[in-house]
Amino acid sequence: MRYPGRPYLDVFAAEIDKGKALRRLREILHISGAVIYMGDSEADNPAFREAEISIGITHSESPKNLEAKHLIPFNARESFLESLQTSRDVESILREMHVS
C-alpha cells in the first residue's frame, strides 16, 4: 500500500480491508453494541465508515483524508483511553477534550 507524499509503503501478504475485518470481528465476537475504532492512516478509512464512533489519531505525518468522525492529537490518545476506564460516554469525553 502506497501513501501519497510519503517516503514509505506497507506490504501485506493479502489485500487489506479493515472495514471488512471489523464487520467479521463483530460477527465472530457477537458484538451488537456500538464500536469505537481508532486509527491514523488511509487504510483505516473503511473501518472508520463501519464504526459508530470513529477516531482519527493525528500527528505530524497525518494524511488529510482521514474519514474519522473525530480527530484527536497523538499526544492526547493516552488520556482519552484513560478516561474510558471511568466513563462510557465517549461523546462527552471528546467534548471535554475539545477535539474535533
Residue 30's CATH number:
3.40.50.1000
For residue 2, which phi and psi values (nearest 5 degrees)? -95, 150
* 100 confidence band (pLDDT: 50, 70, 90): low
For 3-41, write each residue's pLDDT tens digit: 666 677 778 788 889 999 999 999 999 999 999 999 998
For 89-99, write each residue's pLDDT tens digit: 888 888 888 77
Q: What is the pLDDT of residue 87?
A: 81
Give 62's DSSP letter: -
Work out how many domains the chain is built from and give that number: 1
**Beta carbons within 10 angstroms of residue 95's beta carbon:** 11
Specify if 40 maps to a domain: yes
- Structural domain including 86 reads 18-96
The predicted model gives 45-71 an average pLDDT of 93
Q: How far apart are CA 30 and CA 79, in angstroms?
A: 29
